Structure 1
Amino acid sequence: MDKMKIHLEGKNTALIVVDVQNDYCHPDGAISKSGIDVSSVKQMMPHLHFLLEAARRSSIPVIFLQTNHEDVTDSEVWLSRFPDGVNPICRTGSWGAEFYEVSPQANDIIVKKHRYSGFVHTRLESVLQTLKIETLIMTGVSTNLCVESTAREGFMLDYHIVLIQDACAAFSQAEHDMTLKTVDTYFGMVTDTAGIVSYIDTSHQTAVN
């Protein structure tokens, strides 16, 4: 609990939901169709919903990062990741780019991004600074790519990082576990949904009283 207090106590906090979109998460999405197992996403979703409910109860800002790719953002370097030079993932305006089993509410914030990190060429930092956010609660997919990239950059921009291990998903257990170890050792802390929700609810109740 001491580590959690360091990262959360008295800190303005935001919940960051990374790339929970059809192409990354749905069995009919582009990632699954490429032969990659996305079943861990389904296991993650109840925990994410539980955490979203807790954040909204306590008026913690919820920020959805939403990947959108199009010709004007697909640089030569970015496309070099694809064997055929074509990026089929989360094309702007497509079904694949839509959110998967989550629905941002009126007070939630959506930040569109075009790279792994939610900070690269986006308005994320302006939003965080305006809200005077100090701590980022990190969730979403995939743990070792977009979640980790955003967490690493957030830490280096002096945000406290709290990664929720059962509200993130990667496309293999090894990749997921690797990021948990890396973040907990070098970039912040790792906890689970039950732990963070208990802390949020207790803190909120104390503030109300």
Structure 2
Amino acid sequence: MSNQLNPQDTVLIVIDMQNDFCHEDGASAKRGLADITAFQACVPKIDGLIGQARAVGVPVVFVYMTLDDTTISEAWTNKHGTGMSIVIKGSWGADFYKLYPQPGDAVVEKHRYSGFIGTNLNLILRSMGCKSIVLTGVLTNVCVESTARDGFMLDYNVTLVSDACAGSSPEAHAGTLANIANVFGSVLSAEQVGAAWSAAASPVEASA
């Protein structure tokens, strides 16, 4: 486990923490698409991990989703309908929710569930020398899981932070955690990830 969280080749990824998903005035809350209280509860955990990542030199990547006429496909419309106006590019709903990139952070705009599809995320990670990704954000069972699956297929060590992400329901959240742990990577708490980073950054010398 420790090798998969080595600060020298690990990247923390924050997925889709945006107003339309997380804010009480966003599309998810207004349309009853999900219980956003679970999404909002992730914020302190993610914020804490971001702080710990910065302290030990782990890069932070913010991934966010947008849609517009150039990226809404027939397949997307067939599944979600023409009235699925959410995270529209340039709108308030697409803006970040409470967690914001800082200078030096990479920011990746995506148009599908996975952070790897049609983006430069893989190039960014490879350029950083990344071997392991730590995933946080929403929704556990949609965009986070899609990114985790693709990340594993691209040969990254995947860690999903159980209390720093939230799903469309507790059952969906739990299902993804089980699926990732069984097939695609590891599932740890924010405390466990932070402790591993701290231990790697300040190793305790064995007593003589």
CA shift, 1:5, in A, is: 2.2
Equivalence map 1:1-209=2 (5 Å): 4-9=1-6, 12-35=9-32, 36-83=34-81, 85-206=82-203
Q: Supply the distance in 2 between the matched residues of 1:31 and 1:82 (Cα, whole angstroms).
A: 14
How far off is 1:81 after superposition? 2.1
* Helix, strand or coil at the partner of 2:125: helix
- Name the TM-score, length of structure 1 as normaliser: 0.94
User: For the aligned residues, what is the CA RMSD?
Assistant: 1.4
CA distance in 1, matches of 2:193, 2:173: 19
Cα deviation code 1:58-111 (max 9, x no counterpart): 11110000101110000110122224x233110111000000010110011100
- Residue 15 of structure 2 contacts residue 137 of structure 2 at CA under 8 Å; is this kept in 1? yes
| Paired residues, number | 203
Distance (whole Å) between structure 1 residues aligned to residue 79 and residue 37 of structure 2: 23
2:23 and 2:102 map into 1 onto residues whose CA distance is 21
Counterpart CA distance in 2 for 1:11 and 1:185 is 26
Q: Percent identity?
A: 40
Checking the alignment, whether the CA contact within 8 Å between 2:4 and 2:157 is kept in structure 1 is yes
Shift of 1:49: 0.8
1:41 corresponds to which letter in structure 2? F
Inter-partner Cα distance in structure 1 for 2:117 and 2:17:
18
**Structure 1 residue 177: Cα displacement:** 0.2
Bigger Cα displacement from structure 2, 48-57 vs 4-13: 4-13
The residue type paired with residue 84 of structure 2 is: N
List gaps (5 residues or longer) in structure 2.
none
SS of residue matched to 2:11:
strand
Distance 1:64 1:190 in 2: 20
Aligned-partner residue type, residue 79 of structure 2: R
